[in-house]
Amino acid sequence: MMRVLLCLFACTCLWLASCMAPASASLSSLLVAPSGVSPLLPVERIEAMTATLHSRSGQVRSRDGVAIFWRLLDPGDYHFHYRYRPAGIAASGQHDDAVHADFDIDFSAPSGPPPTPRGTVVLLHGWMMDGGSLLPWALDLAQAGYRTVSIDLRNHGRSGAGLSGYGTRESDDVASVIRSLREQGEISGPVYLLGVSYGAATALFTAQSMGDEISGVIAMESFANAGRAIRDMVPHMLARQPDDWLGQAQARLLRWHYGGQDMDAVIAEADARLGLDLDRVDVSRVVASAPACILLLHGDQDQHVPVAHGRLLAKSSARVRYIEMAGENHLSLPLRVDRLAPTVSDWLARTAHPRSHCPQPKLPA
């Protein structure tokens, strides 16, 4: 179920393959804004699962007028069980090269009033996903005693459209949601941010801008610089050689439609449309000045946002703790709730105050 959840790379490839109109011939259009939610994200199934939970939701207007959707889940015993399935293994247990990394979850809504939260964790998704894509993390953290707030970033899910900022503008949106929910009494205890990929960069920008309002950040596979990440991602995306016939056909189509473009020119065009210099969207500088404790997680097999980005961020501040996950890539790392949840929960519990000593994380099993 929830196939290729958080598989930003695979989702982008499928969407690119469908963009055959002449107006989409330049890669720059794909850098300006996503075309909604990836068709590979099973939105209806996620919504059906969410409907069984006692969640609350709403929208907040950002400073530049973009409506930002949020969904809140209270702590409680959800009887949550998670099972990770590596790539190549179907739900039946049989080997299948066409199957991406996936997982199964089981849960039920708690009965009775929720306990007092240990803190609040704001969840920030990747490009072409939405807040629902982080439902396993929301459930695991809620079961661990935290109130969770899943946000649809601008241009995603139920949120409105606005200029993408690669974390810069999105961080203002996140701050608007947190402060609005605090006024409503929905923020309880220390506030943490957990982000994946594009959402991880957004979390780091938010931690820098909100200062002591944020106690800790868990950033999975963030880029260190937006322009560098685009130059790393696109050639790999176009050069990939899938094992299954459908993937091979899509890859050939991508190379035919988008191959041979000058990346500097593509980025310059996106800069002009966004009013942004992507080569100056430098997350490492933000990390250096953020007062919160930061836990960085990166897979050493990540070819979408190569591990060099994580290593550079890890050197940016003495308040950073870094775990490099052997054998994990951009698709699999966020799905490893089975391995990472104990590490994340333990680290959050020991990072309750801004500007406190930043603890060393418990290494994943």
Domain spans, the chain: 8-349
Whether 152 contacts 146, CB under 8 Å: no
| 289 contacts 207 by C-beta, under 8 angstroms | no
pLDDT at 1: 42
| Backbone conformation region of residue 97, classed left if phi is above 0, alpha if psi is from -120 to 50, else beta | alpha
Q: How confident is the model at residue 220 (pLDDT cuts 50, 70, 90)?
A: very high
Percent of the chain with pLDDT over 70: 82
- Residue listed under structure tokens 């790393």: 232
Angstrom distances, CA of residue 104 to CA of 3, 63, 123, 200: 10, 39, 20, 24
Q: Give phi and psi for 89, each to the nearest 5.
A: -115, 115
- pLDDT (tens digit, 9 = 90+) per residue, 11-68? 444 444 444 334 334 788 889 988 666 655 778 888 999 999 999 999 999 999 999 9
Of the candidates 156, 164, 151, 158, the one whose C-alpha atom is nearest the C-alpha of residue 64 is 164
Q: How far apart are CA 125 and CA 196, in angstroms?
A: 5
Q: How far is CA 18 from CA 35, 127, 129, 254, in A?
A: 11, 17, 17, 9
Cα gap 219→85, rounded to integer Å: 23
Question: Which residue do the tokens 């919160």 mark?
Answer: 292
What is the model's pLDDT at position 101? 78
pLDDT(5) > 50: no
Pick the CATH number of 8-349 from 3.40.190.10, 3.20.20.70, 3.40.50.1820, 1.10.150.20: 3.40.50.1820
**What is the per-residue pLDDT across 240-292, written as a single tens digit (0 to 9) for each?**
766 666 666 666 766 666 667 889 999 999 999 999 999 999 999 999 999 99
Neighbours of 354 (CB within 10 A): 18
- End-to-end CA separation in angstroms for the chain: 25
The reported pLDDT for the residue numbered 86 is 87
